[in-house]
Amino acid sequence: MLNKVIHSDILQKKRKLDSSKEESTSPTCINGNIKTNYFSEYEQKYMEKAFELANEALQSNEVPVGCIFVYEDNIIAIGRNMVNETRNATRHAEMCCIDQVNDFCKKENLNFIAVFKETFVYVTVEPCIMCAAALYDLKVKSIIYGCKNDRFGGETVFNVADVLKPVTTRKGGYRADDAMNLLKLFYQGVNPSAPSSKLKRKFKETT
Amino acid sequence: MSAICKVRSILDDSFINNLPLTEVFVDSITCPKNISKVVLELNLLFPLPELIHLKRVKSKEVLLFPSQNIVKEEVHKILQERGFPIDLLKNEIRKVEVAAVPPLVRSQYLQCHSIWPCNFHSDKYIEKLYTNTLFSDEELKIKMKFMNITEDIGKFSKNNNGVLIVDPKSNSVVAVGYDRSNDGPCRHAVMVAIDNVSKSQRGGCWTNDEYFTVDQCNSNCKDIPSDILALLRGKYTDIKFSDSALIPSERVTPYLCTGYDVFSTREPCIMCAMALIHSRAKRVFYGKSSENGGLGTLCKIHTVKNLNHHYEVFIVENIEEKKDS
Ligand SMILES: [Zn+2]
Ligand SMILES: [Zn+2]
């Protein structure tokens, strides 16, 4: 326990050094009244894995979000954004993982309701409104994420928890700047599947 | 069957609720011929940028400033301190509740105008939405027909949840979906329909091979299961099914559900409501409210500010009452 605290102190100091914007890097926690402002070694390990997937998404010209689901200390789903590949705007990393958990449960002959209840979600970006609602409905144990999602966030843009009153705990802020920088890298480039502005205008004229 | 169909808009609360009120001080003008001078001085010394929608004068009374925590007796002192010629006013100070924000629809305008006159710029389109007069009788008939088809599709699921995605430019069906949550917890009818639209655009993630014959896969209707397609084509002979998605003459490949209308037997949940935002749907019509609905019941996802896309939402009431019983 002491070890963990010391480690988190170092981590926090490092984070402060790493960034000029202290505010955006300080981890936030909404976990009942309990304030947890550090990430355990386990959490760090799994978040690093999620970051690998986010990088993979970027390389595949997808919005760089990576996600893993952990059940009984086993990774049971790994996902990344696949919107462009599937031409389906709902194929977020979390949704891909939910499908994998369903397959896992079928294969292992487990009750998916029970499995989701004991599942920890690690994702590089705050889940969007859609994914947050899905994860709350499935009653996942906890969601740990990197940066805020200021375009679609299920807390930041519209707080889904206010209406769904989830049992799921949420904690964000792990390598928030890195997660955000990945997104910026993507949005600086061109989303190959979205119509260009010229095409968009043409499309509008025909509607 | 006579179409007893009513399509009601689900608007943001700001259109529906009474306008929030705020308290201001007003006073009477000593001499009516000085009105313009009083207004000029007040606008200069006490500009009211937040209350710009309010008129400054109501017959012989003028609006001074928000009352905040100021007592009536101090009003003239404050006016004087700023250099206002107080002899122009009678010092018959009253507190009046006025609209704190501009009215958005005529009914709000009438509500607040009776208390204190205000400016109102009627938006014809919003007014039509508000008064549920956007659609012609002819259009209502078509909406109702699509709602009926949606109900038929719902019958393929265990909970009667069906979704129909329509291109309103040609009134043709682009994709259908019905609840398949047996195959996965997120496969609500909306999610399935969205994926079927993706399939019509050479994408998609969920296989539904078991639903298709080989012949079906070669046609451009591969997003509609063959048994459903046969049934629908037989029953609704005047509706085009899945012919519009990739019309060669249109040149531009459709992007997600851009421009499409979505019909759903039930109010979509929050997940599905947001999925339709991500998919850029144009309008959503639903039959019945849901306990967990995200388009009117628990919240109104389509009115969330700061989202990059918004669609309009309508509830289609009294559809096929006979069949329900
Ligand atoms: Zn999402
Ligand atoms: Zn749903």
Q: Would you call B184 an interface residue with chain A, using a CB distance cutoff of 8 Å?
A: yes
Give me the DSSP letters along A134-148.
Answer: HHHHTT-SEEEEEE-
Is the pLDDT reported for residue B116 higher than 60?
Answer: yes
Nearest chain B Cα distance for residue A93, angstroms: 13
**Is residue A90 packed enough to be buried (19+ CB in 10 Å), middle (13-18) or exposed (0-12)?**
buried
Distance between CA atoms of residues B283 and B263, nearest Å: 9
Nearest chain A Cα distance for residue B143, angstroms: 18
Distance between CA atoms of residues A163 and A39, nearest Å: 28
pLDDT computed for residue A204 by the predictor: 38
Closest chain B CA to residue A102? B184
pLDDT computed for residue A191 by the predictor: 54
**Ligand 2 centroid from CA B293, angstroms:** 8
CA distances from B322 to B1, B141, B142 (A): 10, 17, 19
Query: Hey, is A103 helix, strand or coil?
Result: helix
Question: Taking a C-beta distance cutoff of 8 angstroms, is the pair B292, B263 a contact?
Answer: no
Is the pLDDT reported for residue B63 higher than 90?
Answer: yes
pLDDT computed for residue A202 by the predictor: 38
Highest mean pLDDT, choosing among A7-11, A72-76, B118-122: A72-76
Closest partner CB to B203 (pick from A86, A160, A194): A86
Q: What is the identity of the amino acid at B254? A: P
Give me the DSSP letters along A41-72.
Answer: HHHHHHHHHHHHHHHHHHHTTS---EEEEEET
Question: Please, which pLDDT band fits residue A20 given cuts at 50, 70 and 90?
Answer: very low
Query: Hey, is A205 helix, strand or coil?
Result: helix
Question: Taking a C-beta distance cutoff of 8 angstroms, is the pair A90, A117 a contact?
Answer: no
For residue A196, what is the DSSP state? P
Q: Would you call A114 an interface residue with chain B, using a CB distance cutoff of 8 Å?
A: no
The residues with which B263 forms a beta bridge, in sequence order, are B164, B285
Query: Is A48 marked active-site?
Result: no
Question: Please, which pLDDT band fits residue A19 given cuts at 50, 70 and 90?
Answer: very low
Question: Please, which pLDDT band fits residue A22 given cuts at 50, 70 and 90?
Answer: very low
pLDDT computed for residue A32 by the predictor: 37
Catalytic residue among A22, A23, A56, A94: A94
**Is residue A160 packed enough to be buried (19+ CB in 10 Å), middle (13-18) or exposed (0-12)?**
buried
* H-helix segments, chain B: 13-16, 35-45, 75-81, 106-113, 124-130, 137-154, 189-200, 214-218, 226-235, 270-278, 321-324
CA distances from B124 to A50, B26, B132, B133, B298 (A): 49, 33, 12, 11, 29
For residue B131, what is the DSSP state? T
Query: Hey, is B269 helix, strand or coil?
Result: strand
Is the pLDDT reported for residue B4 higher than 70?
Answer: no
CA distances from A181 to A111, B195, B319 (A): 38, 30, 50
Closest chain A CA to residue B254? A203
Is the pLDDT reported for residue B320 higher than 60?
Answer: no
Task: Tell me the percentage of chain A whose pLDDT exceeds 70.
Answer: 73
Instruction: At A200, give phi and psi (nearest 5°).
Output: -60, -45
Lowest mean pLDDT among A9-13, A163-167, B196-200, B229-233: A9-13
Tell me the Ramachandran region of residue B231: left when phi exceeds 0, alpha when psi lies from -120 to 50, beta otherwise: alpha
Q: Which residue has the tokens 């386990």?
A: A42
Is the pLDDT reported for residue A28 higher than 90?
Answer: no
Is the pLDDT reported for residue B245 higher than 50?
Answer: no
Work out the mean pLDDT of chain B and round it to a whole number.
88
Lowest mean pLDDT among A25-34, B167-176, B299-308: A25-34
Lowest mean pLDDT among A39-43, A141-145, B101-105, B319-323: B319-323
Is the pLDDT reported for residue A36 higher than 50?
Answer: no
Distance between CA atoms of residues A66 and A57, nearest Å: 7
Q: Would you call A36 an interface residue with chain B, using a CB distance cutoff of 8 Å?
A: no
Is the pLDDT reported for residue B213 higher than 80?
Answer: no
Q: How do residues A47-96 score in pLDDT, each as one tens digit? A: 999 999 999 999 999 999 999 999 999 999 999 999 999 999 999 999 99
Residue of A199 and B45 predicted with greater confidence: B45
Q: Would you call A178 an interface residue with chain B, using a CB distance cutoff of 8 Å?
A: no
Distance between CA atoms of residues B309 and B302, nearest Å: 8
Nearest chain A Cα distance for residue B34, angstroms: 50
Lowest mean pLDDT among A5-14, A122-131, B44-53: A5-14
| Closest alpha carbon to B13 in B240, B305, B247 | B305
Contacts of B186 in chain A (CB under 8 A): 95, 98-99, 134
Sheet holding B21-28, edge to edge: B57-58, B61-66, B21-28, B94-99
Mean pLDDT, rounded, for A149-170: 97
**Ligand 1 centroid from CA B169, angstroms:** 30
Contacts of A206 in chain B (CB under 8 A): 169, 250, 252
Distance from chain centroid for Cα B114: 27
Residue B40 has which token pair? 């000029």
Question: Please, which pLDDT band fits residue B200 given cuts at 50, 70 and 90?
Answer: confident
Q: What is the ipTM of this complex?
A: 0.87
Q: What is the identity of the amino acid at A187? A: Y
Give me the DSSP letters along B35-88.
Answer: HHHHHHHHHHHS--GGGTTB-SEETTEEEEEE-TT--GGGHHHHHHHTT--GGG
| Closest alpha carbon to B223 in B251, B240, B245, B249 | B245
Question: Please, which pLDDT band fits residue A195 given cuts at 50, 70 and 90?
Answer: low
